[in-house]
Amino acid sequence: MAKLRAVFRCTECGTSVPKWVGRCPGCEGWNTLVEELDDVSKVSSAALLGKRDAPVPISEVDAHEWQPKPTGIGELDRVLSGGLVPGSVTLVGGEPGIGKSTLLLQAVASIAASGSKVLYVSAEESKQQVRLRAERLNALHPDLWLASETAVPHILSSVDEINPAVLVVDSIQTVHTPDISSASGSVAQVRESAARLVTTAKERGLSVVLVGHVTKEGGLAGPRVLEHIVDTVLAFEGDRHHALRLLRAVKHRFGATDQLGLFEMTQQGLLGVPDPSRLFLADRRKGVAGSVIVPTMEGDRPLLVEVQALVANSELPSPRRSAQGLDSGRLSLLLAVLSERAGVTFEKRDVYALAVGGVKIVEPAADLGVALALASSRFNTPIPEDLVVCGEIGLGGELRQVAHGERRLAEAARLGFTRALVPRLAPDAPEGMKTIRVGTLAEAVAAVGIGDSNSSEF
């Protein structure tokens, strides 16, 4: 009979200790230890060993044996650098109802239509529920196999029976391994279940996709070791009350992690957005103070994003400072530089800044756009509607050029913008677009006529 004992295991690193302590001795995280029942019965080590992989000279390894295979969903393939790699394990995380299951069902239906067998294991929904969703998405195909199973050994038996090219498990927090006595979703269960699926993927050359729950802070639920043992971690983001969805690669062993996939949720499912810049600017209201267009880069993809700012009088002792889609620390820095280097103060005023469209802008190339949006709202002076703004701001108020300047301005010119406000050393704008060069933030504020209309270059 199995012997059970209570242990406390860290949800971040998996370290176990015999009694609870406030700080994990492994990763030094606070309040991360949870109680579990640990099976201490001895298991034969031979039963845990898989097939031995004999060492070979590195020059004899076939680098082209495992190449990405497209899923048929363009935006997903963009983020995956071409598609799913045989033998890889991909973890997809996102809030409930964001569309993870919809995206994967569309992807596996496309893969099945290309002639590859796919096994979709739904551990949370019945087969009938998944079938109804597949009908709505027009995702029915004879090579798409469906199982409603929660036991990992049964899932692996189905893999042996069907021999699929792709396996989807929805979700990793709801499957369990009978050898582990703790409940589904616990640290031990998630770690062991994921480890067995990873081993199967490597041995069979099987592409495995795991769906993961997220915590209220937005991180993936379960032990941090889950993110370490998989090859790719995708984050599916968006507001359930809006149609736009964003897919990012947080970790990717087979390509870049700075790509962005954009989808629109429709009655037909998730559709890729071929021209995101035009979509972001579709509802733009022109001639309003505090609105600036900033050309940003997401991986190798230029995007035009509207940055809005609102400065309002405040009676609070400490006025509000709020940023959505922008770094709040960077916002505080820009407010200080505006005050000290450009003479634009915000005393007794609430400040709100927003990147429209649900996009998160973290690169410093948006500094100049955010600063001018703040100054524009502060003095209620609209910025010209045909102008794009791009540049990094230093603490001395100086403007610095940013990478991929030509591609940013080319995207702006494609959408009809005719003027660009950039740092002095920035590359020339494409033909048909006027380049306005400034060296400091104060010069940029004066160039657009904020605070002193006589100095405007427009």
3-state secondary structure (DSSP) of residue 21:
coil
Q: Locate all alpha helices (DSSP H) within 144-283, ordered by sequence.
A: 152-162, 187-204, 225-229, 276-280
Token output for 317: 């002792």
Token output for 186: 């616990």
Q: Locate all alpha helices (DSSP H) within 213-327, ordered by sequence.
A: 225-229, 276-280
Fold for domain 279-455?
Ribosomal Protein S5; domain 2 (3.30.230)
How many Å apart are CA 308 and CA 353, to the nearest integer? 6
Q: Does domain 70-273 have CATH number 3.40.50.300?
A: yes
Token output for 209: 């996709």
| pLDDT recorded at residue 40 | 46
How many Å apart are CA 304 and CA 35, to the nearest integer? 49
pTM, two decimal places: 0.78
Burial environment of residue 329 by CB neighbours within 10 A (0 to 12, 13 to 18, 19 or more): exposed
With a cut of 70, list the residues of the chain below it in pLDDT.
1-4, 12, 14, 37-51, 215-223, 240-241, 452-458
| pLDDT recorded at residue 406 | 94
| pLDDT recorded at residue 43 | 43
Token output for 38: 């640990």
Backbone angles phi, psi at 436, to 5 degrees: -110, 115
| pLDDT recorded at residue 38 | 63
How many Å apart are CA 6 and CA 22, to the nearest integer? 17
Q: For residues 121 and 166, is the Cβ–Cβ distance under 8 A?
A: no
